[in-house]
Amino acid sequence: MKSTMQKLGTKIVRITALAFLAIGATATVAAAQSWTAHIDWAATNQDGGPSVDCPDQYISNGVPWAIASGRAAAINQALFDAYKQDFNSAFTLVLMTQCHNPGAQQELRDAGEKAVLTYLVSHYQATGPDPNQIIGLVQTALEALALLQ
């Protein structure tokens, strides 16, 4: 039979283990909330023009039109890219929205492409037509018109 002291010791060990598990779970949730907040902010930030940092990256990443409409437009394109399974481009665009904040970029990198894009597509929906697809169609139409002349 266990003595009262042994039973008390067992209870203390169990309570301590549960406390450590709770602390670990809380830290994990807090870390997840940190990087997801960067996506949430960018997805709703429609400040365009001079408030967009790193316009050269918007141009080099193929979303120059997003400079005028803000980070939300870049996130919208990231969604379209993810739908087309162009995960590298989608992740690059999400990182680009944080070009002014290297700490946020690192948190997103630490979370990883899969986690970031899974969060993105499960919490947001692309709106409107895919601008890059529209641009491609217009370019094709212009080329066809040029051949007719």
Structure tokens given for 83: 């739908």
Task: Dump pLDDT digits (tens) for 4-44.
Answer: 656 655 566 555 544 444 444 444 444 557 999 999 999 99
Q: Which amino acid is at 7?
A: K
CA proximity to 101, closest of 53, 34, 66:
53
Average pLDDT for the chain: 84
Residue 61 belongs to what H/E stretch? none
Q: Are 121 and 82 in contact (CB under 8 A)?
A: yes
Task: Dump pLDDT digits (tens) for 42-63.
Answer: 999 999 888 899 999 999 999 9
Q: Which amino acid is at 109?
A: R
DSSP for 73-124, written as a single string: HHHHHHHHHHHTT-HHHHHHHHHHTTTT-HHHHHHHHHH-HHHHHHHHHHH-
pTM: 0.72
pLDDT level of residue 118 (50, 70, 90 thresholds): very high
CA–CA gap between residue 149 and residue 146 (Å, rounded): 5
Give the residue, 135 or 106, on which the prediction is more confident. 106
CA proximity to 113, closest of 80, 77, 71, 85:
85
Task: Dump pLDDT digits (tens) for 84-99.
Answer: 999 999 999 999 999 9
